[in-house]
Structure 1
């Protein structure tokens, strides 16, 4: 019941907001605030037909590759640092130093090191998105119940068995939270990185439309970015609830007790 309500609210809220936008903007003569009907026409012409394969798929590919690299690296490094406290003591200050730098501020540095192109965009996404997952993994593993550690020692589990059967499930909820923050960070950096360099990708096309005073095209790009961001977050949340169903169920039982 609650899952159905969550999906209904998640889908219904944007629909209601779009309906209000349509009603408020209807008949608008403001150059910078065109009617939503005009924006939707340009949305269809630009993003569903003309620039779907050349820009939309390109942006999604960069986002997925950069995010996947960030998640794999964040979880892998997180496990290593959590299992080696002495090394973590030396690395922690460096991690928090780079974590404190705004993700978008790293893009000019990467341009000077990697140059313009797809590689710069993927590297910038991965580098910015790795820290939330990394920190969440370390904190999640450090917070594993000592009783679980004792039980794994009593049963003489191997290192791989401890990691996959004890530590990863116990730290899974916190790791998933870090992955969700990484996804949001990756999406923001994807847009920012596309506004520099070659004029391809959703961010680049949206910026080009703004600079060319093609206001309806600009709004259609903003609308597309909102749709992609919303859909990505909804898909992640549904996947998280499915994978961590045991954790969500245990919390419900604990509240009911």
Structure 2
């Protein structure tokens, strides 16, 4: 028990050490700044509670998080489903791979005007933009994870008559889950970026919309508070994701920690 507490304290210390140093450097480096575009950090932090009140959090932050969650969930479901099919069948992979590589190479922000033509300017457009960018890391990592299933385990499952949904549930998805979560982790950071970008086009609320409004109104400290809030949200979402990953892949991390290490 004592070792666990010590390890937790050490991980917490390592997690906050670098951010603390960076904030301290920013604080002292900007202390005497008179540039209107780069205000002192003390000014930004002093403005933060006045800008991000409970009402603004409900009107701007909550809608952004709802759009991010919806787009991310759609991308996760579609990516895992399509990736499992493409990774399981060689012929399907041979047919789909050129198209997937072509679509993956198209930057999602470029698709915003196209998506607006078909989905309008409401929340559907924003969710579609987020999903269109988040789906690729999930899809491609799922394909690689499914392809990397141990052939010995696959042959053993076939010998015991484990086929169809049972094979998918008990062999393919568990074996591919570390790779799938790697794609989901990449997709989360992409989703946050696309959430902001999508809200800069024909929006009436959201974090991206609010930050642009601050910039256009030359409310520079307010704009910086929005950027700081985005960073904090990204950090909190990353912490939540790591906790979910740790619980879901507990068996995998246990096997990896128990495996003998080379000197």
Please indicate the TM-score interval, normalised by the length of the shorter structure.
Answer: over 0.9
* Shift in alpha-carbon separation, 1:148–1:187, aligned structure 2, 3 A: same
Who is 2:259 aligned against? 254
Residue equivalent to 1:117: 122
Provide the rounded CA distance (Å) in 2 between the counterparts of 1:95 and 1:10.
37
- Unaligned 5+ runs, structure 1: none
Q: Give the structure 1 partner of residue 231 of structure 2.
A: 226
Tell me the secondary structure at the aligned position of residue 92 of structure 1. helix
The answer on 1:146 being equivalent to 2:141 is: no
Which residue matches 2:59? 54
Deviating above 4 A after TM superposition, structure 1's stretches of 4 or more consecutive aligned residues are 1-4
Q: CA deviation at 1:66?
A: 0.5
Name 1:191's counterpart in structure 2.
196
1:177 maps to: 182
> How far did 1:28 drift?
2.9
Distance 1:5 1:196 in 2: 43
Provide, for residues 149-181 of structure 1, a one-character-per-residue CA deviation record: whole Å limited to 9, x for no partner.
Answer: 011112211311211111111111111001111
Give the match for residue 31 of structure 1.
Answer: 36
Aligned to 1:135: 140
Deviation at 1:15, TM superposition (A): 3.1
What CA deviation, in whole Å up to 9, does each residue of 1:212-255 have, x standing for no partner?
A: 11100110011011111111122212321222122222222324
Instruction: Please give the secondary structure, in 1, of the residue aligned with 2:72.
Output: helix
Q: Aligned in 2, Cα 1:109/1:255: closer, same or farther, shift over 3 Å?
A: farther
Displacement after TM superposition at 1:38 (Å)? 1.9
Counterpart position of 1:40:
45
Against the structure 1 CA distance between its residues 167 and 5, is the aligned structure 2 distance closer, same or farther, given a 3 Å change threshold? farther
Determine the C-alpha separation between the residues in 1 that align with 2:56 and 2:69.
Answer: 19
Aligned-pair distance for 1:86? 1.6
Q: Are 2:95 and 1:90 aligned?
A: yes
After TM superposition, the score normalised by the length of structure 2 is: 0.91
When structure 1 is superposed on structure 2, of 189-198 and 3-12 the one drifting more is: 3-12
How far apart are 1:67 and its partner, in Å?
0.3
Choose from 9, 15, 20 the match for 1:15: 20
Q: Does the aligned pair in 2 maintain the 1:137–1:178 contact within 8 Å?
A: yes
Q: Which piece of structure 1 moves more, 67-76 or 1-10?
A: 1-10
Return 5+ residue gaps in structure 2 as ranges.
none
SS of 1:58's equivalent?
helix
- Quote the Cα distance in structure 1 between the aligned partners of 2:126 and 2:178: 29
Q: What's the offset of the Cα at 1:140?
A: 0.4
How far off is 1:3 after superposition?
5.6
Number of matched pairs: 257
Query: So what's the TM-score if we normalise by structure 1?
Result: 0.93
Give 1:4 shift.
Answer: 4.9
State the distance in 2 between where 1:169 and 1:88 align. 21
Deviation at 1:84, TM superposition (A): 2.7
Question: SS at 2:162's partner residue?
Answer: coil
Deviation at 1:27, TM superposition (A): 4.1
